[in-house]
Structure 1
């Protein structure tokens, strides 16, 4: 019996070991799934849709080849709607693929000419996107016809992308692109994009049963060897010296078998009968089980619940249907944008070059920097404007929108000054006019010390832009600049004085009505009635930007201006300009007068209509923006 068990153990062990090894070798699944496509012709842009990238689960690896100039190749991914908005009027190739397809399908998308609007314009017209028409591309038989000689836009460096890889970094790209995000592959807009696309997805090659099978087989093999040695040892011990027996006794004749009649009780009784019954019961049970073809476990299964183990039906646990627009940028995307702005600002500040500043600044922020550069070229001791730090971000409030222009508010932590003292954080208002434009700094202000920022929506949700003429606020956004400018001129006599919280307002203390009166009195005392100094307020050219807060209020960015006119009133008298005004105007003294314009970049919190709160200043930046001689 031990030999039989040993043989069974050997056979089962061999099966288990072979099965375990086969799972790691012969039956091992492939390590990855691949989908390769060749883009015919000289397509400048190739779009890989989100459905293609998520055709299989796992991290996507994109491998490019076939570029005529690998240094100019780039790979970027962004929201599918943003990618199509950026392409707009450009012809591009798109790749389609589904799980189970033998190979991806390449099609060419040719946009229809738009009757109005373009991606290069500003305002609402920038949202007009030509309707693309997909046409199948024939199989690649050659280089194909080239596109028109007109160079296309270069997608490299666009703020629209969630992430970007250029040059050799774009050769092999690993990404985890979620649903709703697509990839754009391109050159520099002039050279064709790489035409050989290879997508790979990892496959779970783990074999959890291989190791247990091999170990179990080895253990069973050891048990089989032990059983074999035990049986061999027992067999040898049982074979000792034996005596030869005498002649065998003749067998007794067999008695006739007893056949009970029907009248005699068939069930035997007594000790032998009970022993025979005990012997026959297991044999009878084994026979029944053999006839039914099941073991004891199967017999038990037959008597248990007849229904099979329920398999849950596949269900989709998608998020609830939310049609609210996504925020204009993500937090990592905004951090990358701020770093690019910081580098551009540092280059412009180092060279005092307004053309470099125009790459990242617009509106009031550009106006103030342009004037500062002009002054510093003629006045060496003129301090530069605060640099734009590369981070970290302390607050971000993107607009929740899918159209253009897009607005983003960010607060960046400032490093300590030269003496080691902390500086107030820098607040930026960024605007992206069209999909192909980068975010431009419209406002750059220092926040007031101990400023109380209202409760804002999280960056992952974004906020809405409040219309400039909204009557749902305590003061309409397009009236805030004029109202505050009136306070700077007239002080308590202004009708808007009671609407603003001026308790900790440092700008009013610096250039408010009291300061103006003191300046006029000083000039009258010093020069008599030979000249007059007057002040006037006006609304500057900067846009009114309003971002909603959670309490139905808004953060409002405005650009009031103040005009100072120092005019001669007595013949023979002269007006002497200050060093800063002279550097900007080019006039050191005048027989008629000098006009100086000061620009203010202001950010306010405006409470909702009916609130008991007052409008309060969150931060400001101000400086001389223009100066000229008047007649």
Structure 2
């Protein structure tokens, strides 16, 4: 029996070891899957849908080739609706995954241009590309001829703030990404040249063999058990060939029968037929008795205890253990960090060259107006300080608008580095606006936060905030009335009708240019001249973003005019160095009008709240000057 068990163990061990090794070698699964296609028609843009990128689980590796100039090729990905909005009015090749063939397929899409930035694409069948059967795309390029629609020159997607990630030039040849289903990839050159026409997406495959190691180890263990059983059986078999036990005690001798002495009357040797039959009957009887005795004893000596094999218990396997519908935020935090770095670089370049054209690439509205004026003043006044630089990082607060339309608004607070003397500087708060999908974010407001400013509780950047309408009655004061009300406070101080609405504590702008400062300026004017102040809301759009307590962060533009007039014939007023740099007039016999721009950020509590409107930050400076006629 032991030999049989040993043979079974050997066979099972061999099967287990061979199966384990085969799983790691002959039957090892592939390490990746690849779907590829060659796109015909020389399209300027190729869009790979998110469903195609997620046709198989795992990180996607996108390979592109076939661009006329690899240095200009661009691979970027963003939300599918954003990609379609950027392609509004353009023709592109849409790449999807064909489940039947397991390869990529393309069709031409001509999207309709829309004002809101979203698109309703209309697809027209395109020649079916020949999929590449190998992991790398080896299919021949598509038709050399191209349709007029697909060959139409368009804008370049490079450098757009709309993308979540972007790869340019050689970096776009092979890109690794892990995008969800709602994200698509756009592949292009510079818009004037055809896009790369060979695309391939590769996914990793789980090539692990979890049973290989247990099978090999289990087979080796079973092999050892088989060898042990075989040696045990061999040992037992050899022992069974010798005497099983010592001989038992000898049988006692039978008592001798008394000798028969014949008498004279009886013959010694009986004669006749009867006497012979009697002797023969006595001998067998004696033999039968002796055999009976010896047979019983031998049977008892030869009988050995029977050994029954014990069946091993079969183990029983244990039973196996058993914000919807809300628009996404306009940008992600990594996307915003990249945008702020681009703005910081552009602002530093424009400030260093005092070039308003460069500044206009990243600034608009009041922020651009103030920078243009500063450049003009610095060109004629060497001691005029530059405006605070836009730091590139770190972003300490991000509040994107929750929307899927345009324009889009994003608020960011960036920590400023220490100045040259090592003193801390106030953080810079920016309001960024993107008017259309193809526009980059521009700085509309840039303010320095107040030292004691307390930013209210805001929504996380992963959710975003809603934009409050300018005429909303749900706030303590509608956003479009905040600028005028605060301007009146700067003009009249505590005597203003709106003074009770605003918190005076921590408001450093009021102490700098408020009613008391204006009174001192008027008192310092000679009798031959007069000084008057007026304030009006600026032309820039009001931006209001909701807070978690139903209030809002409100950004407004306020402009204040300072008119210095001559009131006595023959008198003359001096414009001052700053106003002279902007107006070109050093002195005037009629008067000088100077315009100051105020970019203001407020926290406006909800209607019915006992809290007051608080100034969070501001930026101010002269933005214009002219001679009064």
Mapped to 2, the partners of 1:446 and 1:106 lie a distance apart of 51
Residue 622 of structure 1 corresponds to which residue in structure 2?
620
CA drift of 1:221 comes to 2.4
2:117–2:436 contact (8 Å) kept in structure 1: no
CA contact (8 A) 2:105 2:128 kept: no
SS of match in other structure, 1:88:
coil
SS in 2 for 1:385: coil
Shift of 1:131: 2.6
**In structure 1, how many angstroms separate the alpha carbons of the residues matched to 2:443 and 2:451?**
22
Q: Deviations for 1:86-128, whole angstroms, at most 9, x for unmatched residues?
A: 101010011111555432221100124x5xxx5xxxxxx3x15
CA distance in structure 2 between the partners assigned to 1:85 and 1:438 by the alignment: 14
* Matched residue, 1:144: 145
Maintained 8 Å contact 1:466/1:554? yes
Is 1:407 aligned to 2:396, yes or no? no
Task: Establish whether residue 477 from structure 1 lines up as the match of residue 487 from structure 2.
Answer: no
2:258 maps to which residue? none
- Quote the Cα distance in structure 2 between the aligned partners of 1:296 and 1:456: 66
The aligned counterpart of 1:504 is 506
Secondary structure in structure 1 of the residue aligned to 2:41: coil
- Cα distance in 2, alignment partners of residues 624 and 146 from structure 1: 55
Residue of 537, 540, 557 corresponding to 1:539: 537
CA contact (8 A) 2:117 2:437 kept: no
Instruction: Give the drift of 1:130.
Output: 4.7
Contact 2:559–2:598 (Cα < 8 Å) also in 1: yes
Structure 2: how far apart are the matches of 1:569 and 1:241? 147
Aligned mate of 1:349, from 348, 351, 355 = 351
Q: Residue 539 of structure 1 contacts residue 561 of structure 1 at CA under 8 Å; is this kept in 2?
A: yes
Which residue of the partner structure matches residue 102 of structure 2? 102
Structure 1 runs (4+) deviating above 4 angstroms are: 229-242, 295-298, 309-312
Q: For each residue in 1:285-333, what CA deviation from the matched residue of structure 2 results, as whole angstroms up to 9, or x when unmatched?
A: 99xxxxxxxx9869x99xx9xxxx8998xxxxxxx7x111111111111
Aligned pair partner of 2:195 in 172, 182, 193: 193
Cα displacement string for residues 30-66 of structure 1 (whole angstroms, at most 9, x for unaligned residues): 1111111111111111111111111111111111111
Correspondence for 1:598: 596
Question: How much does 1:240 deviate?
Answer: 6.2
Report if the CA contact (8 A) 1:3-1:228 is conserved: yes
SS of equivalent residue, structure 1 residue 348: helix
Partner of 1:135: 124
Query: Which residue number in structure 2 is paired with residue 441 of structure 1?
Result: 443
Would you say the 8 A contact 2:107–2:128 is kept in 1? no
Moved more, 618-627 or 23-32: 23-32
| Equivalent-residue separation in structure 1 for 2:145 and 2:454 (angstroms) | 62
Q: What's the counterpart of residue 323 of structure 1?
A: 325
* Residue 368 of structure 1: how far off its partner (Å): 0.3
Report the counterpart of residue 11 of structure 1 in structure 2: 11
1:151 Cα shift? 2.4
Matches within 5 A, 1:280-291: none
Q: Which moved more, 1:565-574 or 1:616-625?
A: 565-574
What CA distance in whole angstroms lies between the structure 1 residues aligned with 2:144 and 2:19? 51
1:55·1:98 contact (CA, 8 Å) conserved in 2?
Answer: no
Asked if 1 retains the 8 angstrom alpha-carbon contact of 2:77 and 2:185, the reply is yes
Check the 8 A contact 1:16/1:217 in 2, yes or no.
yes
Aligned to 1:574: 572
Aligned to 2:218: 216
Rounded to whole Å, the distance in 2 between the matches of 1:106 and 1:211 is: 44
Cα RMSD (Å)? 2.7
Match of 2:396 in 1: 394
Question: For this pair of structures, how many residues does the alignment match?
Answer: 558
1:204 to 203, 206, 228: 206
Paired with 1:5 and 1:458, the residues of 2 have a C-alpha distance of 68
Deviation at 1:195, TM superposition (A): 0.7
Alpha-carbon separation, structure 2, partners of 1:150 and 1:137: 16
Task: Give the drift of 1:150.
Answer: 4.9
The residue that corresponds to 1:256 in the other structure is: none
Contact 2:45 2:188 in 1 (8 A): yes
Q: Secondary structure at the match of 2:525?
A: helix
Within a 5 Å distance, the mapping from 1:479-494 to structure 2 comes to 479-494=481-496
Residues 99 and 58 of structure 1: is their aligned pair in 2 closer, same or farther, counting only changes over 3 Å? farther
Give secondary structure in 1 for the equivalent of 2:443.
Answer: strand
SS of the residue corresponding to residue 465 of structure 1 reads coil
Contact 1:89 1:129 in 2 (8 A): no
- Identify the range of structure 1 (27-36 vs 137-146) with the bigger mean alpha-carbon deviation: 137-146
What is the deviation of 1:147? Answer: 3.8
If you compute each CA radius of gyration, which structure gives the higher value, 1 or 2?
2
1:9 Cα shift? 2.3
Quote the offset at 1:476 in angstroms. 1.1
Residue in 2 aligned with 1:376?
378
1:607 deviates by 1.1
8 Å CA contact 1:56–1:99 kept in 2: the answer is no
Question: Displacement of 1:409 after TM fit?
Answer: 0.7
In structure 1, what is the Cα distance between the partners aligned to 2:379 and 2:183?
Answer: 47
1:574 CA drift (Å): 1.3
Residue 31 of structure 1: aligned partner: 31
Q: Which residue pairs with 1:336 in the alignment? A: 338
TM-score (norm 2): 0.84
Q: Distance in 2 between matches of 1:39 and 1:153?
A: 20
Q: Which residue of 2 aligns with 1:587?
A: 585
- Kept in 1, the 8 Å contact 2:74–2:189? The answer is yes
Mapped contact 2:452–2:506 kept (Cα < 8 A): no
- Measured after TM superposition, the shift of residue 413 of structure 1 is 0.5
- Select 2:426's aligned residue among 424, 427, 435: 424
Range 103-112 or range 408-417, more displaced: 103-112
Give per-residue Cα distances to partners, 1:246-293, cap 9 Å, x unaligned. xxxxxxxxxxxxxxxxxxxxxxxxxx9xxxxx99xx99x99xxxxxxx
Residues 152-163 of structure 1: pairs in structure 2 closer than 5 A: 152-163=154-165
CA distance in 1, matches of 2:421, 2:528: 44
Structure 2: distance between partners of 1:606 and 1:576: 40
| Corresponding position of 1:76 | 76
Contact 2:62 2:176 in 1 (8 A): yes
Does 438-447 or 134-143 show the bigger shift?
A: 134-143
The answer to whether the 8 A contact 1:43-1:147 is kept is: no
2:395, 2:119 → 1: CA distance? 36
